[in-house]
Structure 1
């Protein structure tokens, strides 16, 4: 009987290197008793079970927030099982409990907090991508020149990949929106030009990719996909960008009037590793901005926190006149699958560019900035929403114009 040799542990990465990828401010280091160069080997969730070793892991504690003394216990438990650091959820405006700080200090583990506007999925994706790309940057080889220490933006990465592959590059998110692209040569094909000018892959092309099965192959494959040149376009190489099992986007290489380099697939594999934290950063900035706006709008409408600060966060002057429109279903709870308020939210969002929409359970709240003086817009929007939702048994109403957003 033979036994299978244990896999060697992943090389550790200094905590300072991991945090360097977080330019969106979603994580905050409160203390590091062993210094910022303490090694990190992986990311774990604190409630995954007592059997799993946490040696060198950053542990995400999804239970009690940092402001609760109850969070001290999981900090000590993570340290006992070998963790190098613990991440707790921050509560805006509430200090970290002294018991939690003391527990981390005594146990010798780094203590971090996750911003309230982020979520655990974002935090895990960011940390795992940072670890993977820091390790990739330490590798040797020609493709290693495309390394995390080099390109610091998606645009810079696209230019570097174009150089090492000999093709034209687009970096896209999972909705096939173009986030960055390399310079377009005079021989670029029509599809590339229309994709870049439109900021996304054209709808007809997306439908074609679905029918052919290429999109499904892309989202399920972990390697470079080759598409030979044909009458409709030049040779293409494509790879999905991943953070663990999660797909973040893709990189497309198109021949630009010349053959792609023989080692282009290797360069593209390395580029996908480097792109992961950059795409996570992009998504965090996008989702973080949306969450911060939602928190500000909720605070403004419900009178929680400083109203003037909330108004400025929403891009509004605190002195801007506003009205509020509310839509609610008549029933205590909507029927399963009822998307009445979802559709109403989309309708309200397109009413005026300045409108802010908050979906709060079975209630839709709309903040409507108006011109000084009487404004019929709020009542008109309420009638429109009520008419749209009438068959589903919903009501909508408009409040009076307030002198200021605050």
Structure 2
């Protein structure tokens, strides 16, 4: 079975609509598999998405097949004789391909399809048939030269808005599905407060959104396929139409009433504008998704130390000498749903102003942790602490998760992203074990992080921990003594006998006696600065193990698992 990560088109399409290879690359990325191909390969043009439902029988429905169809074989069961008849009819009709679910005997299907010369695709269960149908139909309709007419020649939605405003005689706005402003006309004309606020803030004012919801207008707008007139309180009348791709709403086009009252002409023109905007958003959205996925893959490779720096720089349209800050996020314990939650955090990061619209900025998930990669700006540092606090608060409120964030604000070039990530990971593990702290920079945690790095080294070289401290641990265990606690208090107070005795609730002379016994038992000379340094370092590296408790110094389970 061939995984469709990057379909290869063997020849140019010979007719309107995308080739099968182009269509697969755009609608599904790596989701849809190619089981086998006809002699024409993936260059066959797709002119229609055709649903073939097994529950409707096979004789009449097979007769509906046409050249260029992408046949969605709905309802087939394993080893169904209907599939054999469908493949034969598909060959006779010269369809582009037949798409099936992965429940049938794929080895038999491949043999039969190759014998007949039919391309067969395998759709995973998580991808609904109606999703495939809507996406194929939309792409075929909006493909340059396709059945739905040419795609827009300008990639600038502002040009579309200006052209629409001139034709409609009133100011035009184009929003996305969440009513975020994408573009607006700037032709001369009267504007009201609703339009002014929407342009300045990029979203409609709160009282207007409340009116949309409470008046039922928002629900009517989502259902309609025709222009809808609305009369917002205190504003000029609007004509609005959803921008759709099949049943999906991609956005909205609004026009405020001008000198000419709204009439049938306005309805017709606005519907045409919505069609053009739909084609634009579909094409731009597909390209953006594909580019975004590729950028994410390359950044993940950079964070894992496997990136081709020149390819990554070119893909992000950045100079190879660009330097970055890195912010990492992780859960204190474990994600409630590790297959969803980290990716939700990534999406929320992508919506922040620090990442949105900035070339090279991106958020990715690696090993269950989320990283925001931000190019360093010339005009002053970013407030990365505020960004981290905002995300942590929002995720806590929405998902009920305790998230921590570590900020590496030392500029790193592309090749340094791997080392930057290692620093962030150590800081994240320290923060996850500290219930009093949720956000910190790597610089603030550097002493503890250095100790963590030494601990990693000691795990692979246990001889670094050998010596008097390990002997004392064994003595405490077998004789039920407290020499390790004595040493810990002594080191924690910078060798201040009075303060250490107070902490241990013993007399100062008792503490002196214990320190002499430590020297007698294991040879540790605390008057030697080198021996004292090594002993304190070993004690801190051993952490909870030096007190007989489970080792907790690393805090929580490592979240770096494959994602």
TM-score interval (norm. to shorter): 0.5 to 0.7
Contact 2:152–2:276 at 8 Å: present in 1 too? no
SS of match in other structure, 1:58: strand
Could you tell me which residue of structure 1 aligns to residue 235 of structure 2? 233
Q: 2:411 aligns with which of 347, 360, 371?
A: 371
TM-score, normalized by length of structure 2? 0.47
Q: Which runs of 5+ in 1 are unaligned?
A: 1-13, 62-72, 89-99, 113-118, 140-146, 401-406
Q: 2:137 aligns with which of 112, 128, 139?
A: 128
Could you tell me which residue of structure 2 aligns to residue 335 of structure 1? 336
Contact 1:151–1:157 at 8 Å: present in 2 too? no
The alpha-carbon distance between structure 1 residues 361 and 300, as it changes in their structure 2 partners (threshold 3 A), is: closer
1:177-211 residue CA offsets vs partner (Å, 9 max, x unmatched): 22233333331223223323443333443333223
CA distance in 2, matches of 1:183, 1:157: 11
SS of match in other structure, 1:263: helix
The alpha-carbon distance between structure 1 residues 324 and 192, as it changes in their structure 2 partners (threshold 3 A), is: closer
Could you tell me which residue of structure 1 aligns to residue 299 of structure 2? 297
Could you tell me which residue of structure 1 aligns to residue 96 of structure 2? 85
Q: 2:181 aligns with which of 178, 181, 196?
A: 178
The answer to whether 1:220 aligns with 2:185 is no
1:156-181 residue CA offsets vs partner (Å, 9 max, x unmatched): 44344334433322121102122233
Matches within 5 A, 1:325-364: 327-329=329-331, 331=333, 333-335=334-336, 356-360=362-366, 362-364=368-370
Contact 2:230–2:238 at 8 Å: present in 1 too? yes
RMSD over aligned Cα atoms: 5.8
The alpha-carbon distance between structure 1 residues 182 and 301, as it changes in their structure 2 partners (threshold 3 A), is: same
More helix per residue: 2
Could you tell me which residue of structure 1 aligns to residue 70 of structure 2? 58
CA distance in 2, matches of 1:324, 1:237: 45
1:294-328 residue CA offsets vs partner (Å, 9 max, x unmatched): 11112223355634313442455555666876554
Could you tell me which residue of structure 2 aligns to residue 65 of structure 1? none
CA distance in 1, matches of 2:347, 2:429: 9
The alpha-carbon distance between structure 1 residues 257 and 321, as it changes in their structure 2 partners (threshold 3 A), is: closer
Could you tell me which residue of structure 1 aligns to residue 484 of structure 2? none
CA distance in 2, matches of 1:84, 1:258: 50
Contact 1:221–1:240 at 8 Å: present in 2 too? yes
Give the Å deviation of 1:130.
4.0
CA distance in 1, matches of 2:154, 2:136: 17
CA distance in 2, matches of 1:121, 1:303: 40
CA distance in 1, matches of 2:325, 2:424: 12
Matches within 5 A, 1:116-195: 127-132=136-141, 148=150, 152-153=154-155, 154-195=157-198
The alpha-carbon distance between structure 1 residues 45 and 186, as it changes in their structure 2 partners (threshold 3 A), is: same
Could you tell me which residue of structure 2 aligns to residue 247 of structure 1? 249
1:348-398 residue CA offsets vs partner (Å, 9 max, x unmatched): 978897764322463334557743799999868975896589559999996
Query: How many aligned positions are there?
Result: 351
CA distance in 1, matches of 2:217, 2:145: 28
CA distance in 2, matches of 1:78, 1:360: 46
The answer to whether 1:205 aligns with 2:208 is yes
CA distance in 2, matches of 1:15, 1:155: 34
SS of match in other structure, 2:203: coil
Which structure is larger by alpha-carbon Rg, 1 or 2?
Answer: 2
1:276-309 residue CA offsets vs partner (Å, 9 max, x unmatched): 2212123223333321221111222335563431
Task: Kindly indicate whether structure 1 or structure 2 has the higher relative contact order, using CA contacts under 8 Å at least 6 residues apart.
Answer: 1
Could you tell me which residue of structure 2 aligns to residue 9 of structure 1? none
Contact 1:243–1:276 at 8 Å: present in 2 too? yes
Contact 2:49–2:72 at 8 Å: present in 1 too? no
The alpha-carbon distance between structure 1 residues 202 and 315, as it changes in their structure 2 partners (threshold 3 A), is: farther
Give the Å deviation of 1:122.
8.8
Contact 1:166–1:259 at 8 Å: present in 2 too? no
Contact 2:162–2:186 at 8 Å: present in 1 too? yes
CA distance in 2, matches of 1:368, 1:385: 22
Contact 2:412–2:420 at 8 Å: present in 1 too? no
TM-score, normalized by length of structure 1? 0.61
Contact 2:173–2:185 at 8 Å: present in 1 too? yes
More strand per residue: 1
Contact 2:91–2:116 at 8 Å: present in 1 too? no
The alpha-carbon distance between structure 1 residues 304 and 164, as it changes in their structure 2 partners (threshold 3 A), is: same
Q: 1:272 aligns with which of 271, 274, 280?
A: 274
Contact 1:134–1:148 at 8 Å: present in 2 too? yes
SS of match in other structure, 1:242: strand
Give the Å deviation of 1:260.
3.0
CA distance in 2, matches of 1:351, 1:150: 30
CA distance in 2, matches of 1:84, 1:162: 43
CA distance in 1, matches of 2:213, 2:132: 31
Give the Å deviation of 1:254.
0.9
CA distance in 1, matches of 2:262, 2:337: 52
